[in-house]
Amino acid sequence: MSELPKTGREWHLVARPHGWPKPEDFALREAAIPEPGPGQILVRNTHMSVDPYMRGRMNDVKSYVPPFPLDGPMDGGAIGRVLASNAEGIQPGDHVLHGLGWREYAVVDGAHAAKADPDLAPLSAYLGVLGMPGLTAYSGLLEVASFEEGDAVFVSGAAGAVGSQVGQIARLKGASRVIGSAGSADKVKLLVEEYGFDAAFNYKDGPVAEQLKEAAPDGIDVYFDNVGGEHLEAAISSLKVHGRITVCGMIAQYNATEPTPAPRNLALVIGKRLRMQGMLVNDHAALRPRFIEEVSAWIRSGELKYRETVVEGIENGVEAFLGMLRGENTGKMIVALGD
């Protein structure tokens, strides 16, 4: 067996951002790699995920997940190759999905690692279309929003990792109409021409409410919210009686330094008897086997398409994260760390 590495690089949060994070809020540091103990594995990360929820973990506030510590390694979804194993059922050479990203090497409890089959899909897909974002889309639409065949669906942030899957799953499940918003003409074109959305618009081109009413003149049954703010207000106006809203994210206000106004039309929730529900993907882990089976089959058949924006090198991890917050990615933002 070749000698195991002694040190590796990892990203630390060194200051809590006020508003938009800055590169100087982070530091890439060399750290010692401990040997794996009983039940543990040593993983060479090949890909790591950067996701919108990570911005919230940079604030020292009580939430559904603890904040990142200062001067310690951040974490997040990652996939890699096992170099050494003291865990039953996991062998060197296996590929595993785990939660200790933002670093080149990770010592992981075997119980917290899931094997990934590179023959089923490219490894990076386990961080996107077959990973947390994909399951978020699948469960948020089908379980939280109680999607039914014939529903008209509106998705904000529709060219992102979650939104692009929501729209395609809705189409594959028999939606009457699928509408998406995005932040550029190229993304709008992608939604319609590649992902099969019935209509899409650039939210920068004019008021969202007006563009949504034009795209869905008969109204919508489901709104999948990744943005919040103006998008949520517009969706409430266009929702039909007994419409449903899945609140997955509100990226429009993640970097706000002042409280943001609530939708000004919340009173419509009463008369329309709307249901609005927040979601966390971990609550829907029981759906994972069905999700993997169904979505991987759609990928193999070509019925469901996905994009990835890949940034090379751990040294560019923070810039990839900031680019994702700025909307520079199409599909899932991935950082490739090498083999």
* CATH code for the domain of 215: 3.40.50.720
Q: How far apart are CA 224 and CA 181, in angstroms?
A: 11
Residues 149, 163: Cα–Cα separation, whole Å: 19
Query: Token pair of 336, please?
Result: 């490739």
Q: Does 298 fall in a domain?
A: no
Residue type, position 92, single letter: P
Query: Residue 3 has what pLDDT?
Result: 84
**pLDDT at residue 338, rounded to an integer:** 86
Q: How far apart are the C-alpha atoms of 25 and 29, rounded to whole Å?
A: 13
The verdict on residue 291 lying in a domain is: no
List of residues 6+ apart from 32 with CB closer than 8 A: 6, 7
Q: How confident is the model over 271-295, as a mean pLDDT? A: 95
Residues 136 and 83 in one domain: no
* Of 74, 79, 61, the residue nearest 27 (C-alpha): 74
Sheet holding 199-202, edge to edge: 199-202, 177-182, 152-155, 220-225, 239-247, 275-278
Query: DSSP secondary-structure letter at 305?
Result: -
In a domain, 95, yes or no: yes
Six-digit token string for 166: 């929501």
pLDDT at 145 over 90: yes
* Mean pLDDT (whole number) for 188-214: 98
Write out pLDDT tens, residues 167-184. Answer: 999 999 999 999 999 999
149 and 78 within one domain: no
CA neighbours closer than 13 Å in the CB half-sphere of residue 243: 25
Task: Residue 77: name the closest of 144, 34, 135 by CA.
Answer: 135
Q: Examine the domain organization and report whether 88 and 213 are in the same domain.
A: no
Q: Within 13 Å, how many C-alpha atoms sit on residue 247's CB side?
A: 13
pLDDT score recorded for residue 96: 97
Residues 71 and 209 in one domain: no
Average pLDDT over the chain reads: 94
- State the pTM of this model: 0.88
Is residue 141 located within the same domain as residue 119?
no
DSSP of 55-94: HHTTS-S--SSPPPPBTSB--B-EEEEEEEE-STT--TT-
Is 254's pLDDT higher than 80? Answer: no
Confidence (pLDDT) at 120 = 80
pLDDT category of residue 281 using cuts at 50, 70 and 90: very high
Q: Which pLDDT score, from 0 to 100, does residue 310 have?
A: 96
What percent of the chain lies above the pLDDT cut of 70?
Answer: 99
pLDDT (0 to 100) of residue 257: 66
More confident residue, 94 or 65: 94
Q: Taking a C-beta distance cutoff of 8 angstroms, is the pair 90, 114 a contact?
A: no
CA torsion 280-162-99-84 (nearest 10°) is 140
How many structural domains does the chain have?
2
Q: Which residue bears the tokens 């590929």?
A: 95
Full domain range(s) for residue 218: 132-282
Amino acid identity of residue 195, one-letter, is Y
> 78 and 98 in contact (C-beta within 8 Å)?
yes
Is residue 215 in a domain?
A: yes
Residues 251 and 271 in one domain: yes
Asked if 314 and 209 sit in the same domain, the reply is no
| Same-domain check for residues 199 and 144 | yes
Overall average pLDDT of the 126-153 stretch: 96
Confidence of residue 41 (pLDDT cuts 50, 70, 90): very high
**Can you tell me the mean pLDDT for 18-27?**
96
Between 81 and 330, residue with greater pLDDT: 81
pLDDT score, position 258: 76
Amino acid identity of residue 288, one-letter, is R
Query: Looking at the predicted structure, is the pLDDT value of residue 2 above 70?
Result: no
Supply the pLDDT for residue 317: 98
pLDDT of 304-323, one tens digit each? 999 999 999 999 999 999 99
Q: Based on the domain organization, do 110 and 156 belong to the same domain?
A: no
Same domain assignment for residues 226 and 271: yes
